[in-house]
A and B are shown apart, each in its own frame.
Chain A
Amino acid sequence: MTSTFRYLPDTDQDRKEMLSFLNVSSIDELFSDMPASIRLDGELAIPDALPEPALWKKMKNMASKNVELPLFLGAGTYDHYIPSVVGHMISRSEFYTAYTPYQPEISQGELQAIFEFQTMVCELTGMDVANSSMYDGFTALAEAASLAVGHTKRGKVVVSRAVHPESRAILQTVAAGPGYVAEEAALSKDITDLDALGKQVDGDTAAVIVQYPNFFGSIEDLQEVKRITKAHGALLIVSANPLALGLLEAPGRLGADIVVGDMQPLGIPMAFGGPHCGYFAVTKPLMRKVPGRIVGQTTDENGNRGFVLTLQAREQHIRREKAMSNICSNQALNALASAVCMAALGKTGLREMAVLNLEKADYACKLLQQKGFSVLNQSPFFNEFVVKLPKPVAGVQDALIEAGFIGGFDLGLDYGDPNGMLVAVTEQRTKEEIEAFIHALEGIVQ
C-alpha cells in the first residue's frame, strides 16, 4: 500500500489499468533497464513527508529565526518599497507556471511583457538593444567582459576596484575559462583613478569596466573614462543601478558600449540575495553578440503585430559548442516584476524616487559629519556613502542590532579598511530612523 500525495493523482485503479495496458505486472518492471548494481536498496535518507499544516508551521518558524530590522545596508542589494501591484501581477499563474515562450501563439503575454521590458531597459540606459534579462547583475558583468574579449579579439579587460567585489570575483572565475586576463584598476579615494587607468589601458585592452554609481556610492565620470577607452579602441562597459538612472545621465549618452546591472532596486525583493534580475544592453553594432534570449516584433500571416524569440542563431541550442554563451534561461518573472514596477513609477515617479534616495543619503551624510564622523566620499554620491568609524565595523554591528538597526557593509574584508562602513539610505528610511541610527552609532563608537 502506497501512501497518497496531493500532487500525485494516480489511484490504485489508475496504476492497475496503466500497467495492464503495458502488459507489465509492476512499476518495478519499468525500471528493469537499471542494472541491479546501481539500484537503491532502501529509501532516500531524507526527513519524512510533512502534512501541509505542519509544514507551514515549520517554515514560518524557520523564517522567524531571521531578523528584520530597518536597514542601512545596501552594497548591491537595496531595501526599496515594492508597490503591492507588482506582487499581484507576477502571481498570475499564467505567467509564473509557463516556460520560455517557444510557442509564440500561446505565449504572446510573456513575449510582449519582455518586449516592453527590453524597451524600458533601453530607455533607462540610453542603449539600442536589451536582452530579456540575465541571472543577476554580477554575472551579466562577466558576460559583458567575455563579449568584449570575443568582439575585439583582445586579451584583457580592466575592471575598476570600485566595481562590486562580487562582480570582480565572478569575473575572475569566468575569465579563467577561456583564459583572458581581468586586471584591476586602482582607486583614488572613492573613485577610479583615471590617471592610472589612462596608463593601464593599451592596445590589448578589450574593455574597461566601471560601476555607476560605484561600489562606494560615488558617481564615476563616464565621459572621462570614455575618453580613455576611445583612445585605445576598447569598449566601455558600465554596470549601473537602474534606479540611479532616473536622475543620472544615461550611460549610452556618455559613450557606453555595454550597460549591465541588476533590476533588484525596481520591484524585486532582497530575498537573501536572489533571485534578482540582471539586465544587459548594448549599442546596435553589438546586437548579434548579446547572450541570452531576445524578443522581437513581427507579424502573423494576417499582418497582426506579434512577438517571437529572435536572433536565435546566437544561442546554445542552435550553435552548441560554437555559441557565444552557454546561457539558456533568464529571469523572466523578475524582469516582469521590474517592468510592472517601472510602469507603476512611470517617467516622473522614477525620477522622484531616485531624487528621494539621493536626498535621504545626503541628509544622513551631513548629519554624520555634523556629529564629527568623517566621510570617505569626495565625489558626489547617490544613495550610499562610506563613513569612517573610529573603531572596526565588525565590533559595531552587534551593538547596532541591539539598538534595532542593521548597519552598513564592512569594508574590512574586501578593501582592507576595517573602519570603513558603507551606509545605504533608501527612500524606505524615515528621517526619524536616520536620526535614531546615527544617535545609536554615536553612542556605540564613543
Chain B
Amino acid sequence: MTTYTDLIFEISRPGRIGCSLPERDVDAVNLSEKLPAHLIRREAPELPEVSELQLVRHYTSLSNKNHGVDNGFYPLGSCTMKYNPKINEDVAKLDGFGRIHPYQPEATVQGALELLYELQEDLAVITGMDAVTLQPSAGAQGEWAGLMMVKAYHKQRGEKRTKVLVPDSAHGTNPASATVAGFRTVTIPSNKHGLVDVEELKKHVDDDTAALMLTNPNTLGLFEKDIVEIARVIHEAGGLLYYDGANANAILGKTTPGEMGFDIVHLNLHKTFTTPHGGGGPGAGPVGVKEKLIPFLPVPRVEKRNGRFLLNREEPLSIGRVKGYYGNFGILVRAYTYIRTMGPDGLRQVSESAVLHANYLRKKLEPYFISPYEQVSKHEFVLSGSKQKKLGVRTLDIAKRLLDFGYHPPTIYFPLNVEECLMIEPTETESKETLDAFADVMIRIAREVEEDPETVLNAPHTTVIGRLDEVKAARKPVVRYERETVQS
C-alpha cells in the first residue's frame, strides 16, 4: 500500500502534457471569424497538466488503494463477485469489436450482429424465455424496460393496472423501477421462513395487479419453494410475473425462470456471466420475455433472415428505445465468450459449486453467528450479527475488521428484514482453501467480539485510511476539487 495522497490536480504544472496530438495538415481556422464571440470559450477548463509517466504513477498509486476480485476474496452478497476471465478482456479489445461504429452499414458488421443474435438465443435458453433484448445497460434498466412492457401488455388488452407487488426482501431497484415506470408499489412481507407469505400475497392480488417482481432464490439466498403456486395466483388475476435475475447464479442448468412460470426476466451479465464490475459499471441487463410479450420488446431487434443478420427498427407495439444503439456491446462480447467457454455442462457446474460453497461456508459459521433460516441455501446466505450487537459490536464493525485480513466484507444491512444482516456470497470460483481461511477469520472475529471487542470496534487497523466521516461528507458536500478547499 502506498502513502501517495495527491490529487491529479495537485501535481499539475502548466506546460506539461501526457499525450501527442496529430499534426495539423489543413489550414488553420480563425475562430473569432468562424464563431460569435460569446460562444468561444473564454477560460479553458482546468484540466491537469502532467507528463505520461506522472499520469501512470498517479493512477497506478490509486489502483494500489483499491481492492478487486483479483486482489482477494470478495463475498459481497447479491453482487456475485466471481472471477472475471482474462480472455474475455482480450476478445472485447479486438479491433473488429472495439473499433466498429454503431451506424456502419449492416453488411460491414455481420460478425457483431451474429454475436448479438447468438447471445440472444443462448440467454433465451438459459432463462427459458422465447425472446431476449440485449439493450438495457444494467439490471435496474432491465427492470424498468420490463415494467414498461408490462404496462404496454395490459394497455394492449384494454386494461390499466397500476399496482406492482414487491416482497420486503427485494432489491431497492425493484420498487424504484416500478415508480419510474409509473406504477405504485405494494410491499409483501416475508414469513418467518424468509419466503413470500403466499396467504398475505393473495390478499393483495386483484384485477389492479400489473405484476409481481420476485428474485428467486431471494435475497436471503432461499429458493421460493411455493413459486408454482405464486405464479398461479398472479396469472389467475391477470397479472404478470417478473424475475429479477440478480441471483441467477444459483439456477443455471438446474431450472429456468420460464419453468418457474415467470413471464419476464432480466439478467445481470456482470454478476452471473463474469463480465467485470468495473468499479461500478459498465454492466449489462438483458431482458427475456415469453411469447405473449414479444411484440412489446424494445427496438431495434437483432434478427436473422436468409442467413444474414439485420436490425429490425419497425415494431408497432414496441415500447421503443431504452438505450443508445444496441446495448453495452463490449460487455455482451465478454458474456458471449464466457458462455462459449463453459457450455451447458460448465454452466450447470457453476451453479452447483456456487450452492455447495454457500452451504459449506454457512455451516462453518453457524455456531458463531445467528443463522435466521433453516432452509437449505442457494448461492448465498445471510447471518445476523444480533448476538454480537448485544455485546456492543455491530455488523459494521465486523465488516471493518474483515478489512484487516485482506477480505472485502459481505453485503451488510441488507436485506432490511434481517437485523444486523451479513449477506455472504462466496461464488463458485473460490477454492475450498479460501472458504476455510475466511471462515477461520470470521470465527476469530466472533471470539474477539467476546474477548477483545475494542480491536473490532476500532477496526480497520491496516488500511490506507481509517473510518471516514460520512455524516460530514453529506452535510457539507465537497464533490469536486477546488484549490481553496485543499489548502485549508
Q: How far is the CB of A165 from chain B (nearest CB, A)?
A: 9
Verify if A77 is at the interface (C-beta below 8 Å from B): yes
The interface residues of chain B lying within 8 Å CB-to-CB of A15 are: 356
The interface residues of chain A lying within 8 Å CB-to-CB of B112 are: 66, 272
Instruction: Find residues 140-177 in chain B having any chain A CB closer than 8 Å to their own CB.
Output: 140-141, 143-144, 148, 151, 171-173, 175-177
Contact B18 A7 (CB under 8 A): no
Cα distance A15–B431 in the bound complex, in angstroms:
11
Q: How far is the CB of B223 from chain A (nearest CB, A)?
A: 4
Contact B19 A21 (CB under 8 A): no
With CB as the reference atom, state the residue of chain B lying closest to A49: B343
Contact A300 B140 (CB under 8 A): no
Contact B363 A22 (CB under 8 A): yes
- Among B12, B474, B479, residue most surrounded by chain A Cβ atoms (within 10 Å): B479
Stretch of B96-104, B203-211, B286-294, B382-390 lying at the A interface: B96-104
The interface residues of chain A lying within 8 Å CB-to-CB of B464 are: 105, 108
Stretch of A80-88, A151-159, A193-201, A438-446 lying at the B interface: A80-88
Q: How far is the CB of B430 from chain A (nearest CB, A)?
A: 7
Verify if A122 is at the interface (C-beta below 8 Å from B): yes
Contact B87 A322 (CB under 8 A): no
Contact with B along A349-369 (1 / 0, CB 8 A): 111110110111011000000
Do A320 and B319 contact each other (CB < 8 Å), given the known contacts A332-B280, A350-B47? no
Instruction: Find residues 237-274 in chain B having any chain A CB closer than 8 Å to their own CB.
Output: 251-256, 259-261, 270, 274
Verify if B441 is at the interface (C-beta below 8 Å from A): no
How large, as a class, is the contact surface on chain A?
Answer: 35 or more
The interface residues of chain B lying within 8 Å CB-to-CB of A328 are: 138-140, 172-173
The interface residues of chain A lying within 8 Å CB-to-CB of B85 are: 7
Contact A63 B21 (CB under 8 A): no
Contact with A along B340-363 (1 / 0, CB 8 A): 111111111110110111011001
Cα distance A83–B50 in the bound complex, in angstroms:
14
The interface residues of chain A lying within 8 Å CB-to-CB of B104 are: 66-67, 71, 73, 406
Q: How far is the CB of A340 from chain B (nearest CB, A)?
A: 6
Stretch of A31-39, A184-192, A230-238 lying at the B interface: A31-39
Instruction: Find residues 118-157 in chain A having any chain B CB closer than 8 Å to their own CB.
Output: 118-120, 122-124, 128-130, 132-133, 135-139, 146
Cα distance A177–B322 in the bound complex, in angstroms:
12
The interface residues of chain A lying within 8 Å CB-to-CB of B76 are: 99, 102
Cα distance A5–B60 in the bound complex, in angstroms:
32
Contact B340 A353 (CB under 8 A): no
Cα distance A155–B334 in the bound complex, in angstroms:
41
The interface residues of chain B lying within 8 Å CB-to-CB of A219 are: 35, 39
Instruction: Find residues 392-435 in chain B having any chain A CB closer than 8 Å to their own CB.
Output: 399-400, 403, 408-409, 411, 414, 428-432
With CB as the reference atom, state the residue of chain B lying closest to A272: B329
Q: How far is the CB of B482 from chain A (nearest CB, A)?
A: 8
Contact A66 B337 (CB under 8 A): no
Contact B99 A270 (CB under 8 A): yes
Contact B67 A297 (CB under 8 A): no
The interface residues of chain A lying within 8 Å CB-to-CB of B199 are: none
**Size of B's binding interface in residues, CB under 8 A:** 206
Stretch of A203-211, A309-317, A384-392 lying at the B interface: A309-317
Do A105 and B99 contact each other (CB < 8 Å), given the known contacts A97-B84, A323-B179? no
Verify if A348 is at the interface (C-beta below 8 Å from B): yes
The interface residues of chain B lying within 8 Å CB-to-CB of A376 are: none
Contact with B along A287-325 (1 / 0, CB 8 A): 100000111111111101111101111011111111101
- Among B104, B144, B481, residue most surrounded by chain A Cβ atoms (within 10 Å): B104
Contact B428 A8 (CB under 8 A): yes
Contact with A along B309-322 (1 / 0, CB 8 A): 00001000001111
Verify if B49 is at the interface (C-beta below 8 Å from A): yes
Contact B322 A170 (CB under 8 A): yes
The interface residues of chain A lying within 8 Å CB-to-CB of B467 are: 105, 300-301
Do A33 and B50 contact each other (CB < 8 Å), given the known contacts A63-B94, A65-B96, A108-B465? no
The interface residues of chain B lying within 8 Å CB-to-CB of A76 are: 324
Verify if A286 is at the interface (C-beta below 8 Å from B): no
Cα distance A58–B114 in the bound complex, in angstroms:
12
Contact A316 B176 (CB under 8 A): yes
Contact A398 B105 (CB under 8 A): yes
The interface residues of chain A lying within 8 Å CB-to-CB of B71 are: 93-94, 97
The interface residues of chain B lying within 8 Å CB-to-CB of A323 are: 172, 175-176, 179
Contact B473 A275 (CB under 8 A): no
Q: B83 contacts which of A7, A61, A293, A327 (Cβ < 8 Å)?
A: A7
Contact B91 A176 (CB under 8 A): no
Contact B172 A317 (CB under 8 A): yes
Instruction: Find residues 390-407 in chain A having any chain B CB closer than 8 Å to their own CB.
Output: 397-398, 401, 406
Q: B81 contacts which of A27, A99, A269, A326 (Cβ < 8 Å)?
A: A99
Q: How far is the CB of B484 from chain A (nearest CB, A)?
A: 13
Contact A359 B24 (CB under 8 A): yes
Verify if B339 is at the interface (C-beta below 8 Å from A): yes
Contact A38 B259 (CB under 8 A): yes
Verify if A334 is at the interface (C-beta below 8 Å from B): yes
The interface residues of chain B lying within 8 Å CB-to-CB of A223 are: 38-39
Do A296 and B477 contact each other (CB < 8 Å), given the known contacts A176-B148, A245-B45? yes
Contact B102 A95 (CB under 8 A): no
Instruction: Find residues 9-23 in chain A having any chain B CB closer than 8 Å to their own CB.
Output: 9-10, 14-15, 17-19, 21-22
Verify if A202 is at the interface (C-beta below 8 Å from B): no
Contact B322 A173 (CB under 8 A): yes
The interface residues of chain B lying within 8 Å CB-to-CB of A122 are: 480
Q: How far is the CB of B354 from chain A (nearest CB, A)?
A: 10
Contact B281 A332 (CB under 8 A): yes
The interface residues of chain A lying within 8 Å CB-to-CB of B181 are: 177
Contact A73 B328 (CB under 8 A): no
Contact B321 A166 (CB under 8 A): yes
With CB as the reference atom, state the residue of chain B lying closest to A122: B480
Question: Mind listing 5 A-B residue pairs with CB under 8 Å?
Answer: A58-B340, A176-B320, A254-B38, A329-B282, A358-B29
Q: How far is the CB of B288 from chain A (nearest CB, A)?
A: 14
Contact with A along B29-44 (1 / 0, CB 8 A): 1010011101111101
Contact A362 B29 (CB under 8 A): yes
Contact B66 A297 (CB under 8 A): no
Q: B110 contacts which of A34, A66, A120 (Cβ < 8 Å)?
A: A66
Cα distance A430–B85 in the bound complex, in angstroms:
38
- Among A2, A5, A318, A428, residue most surrounded by chain B Cβ atoms (within 10 Å): A5
Q: How far is the CB of B61 from chain A (nearest CB, A)?
A: 8
Cα distance A137–B228 in the bound complex, in angstroms:
41
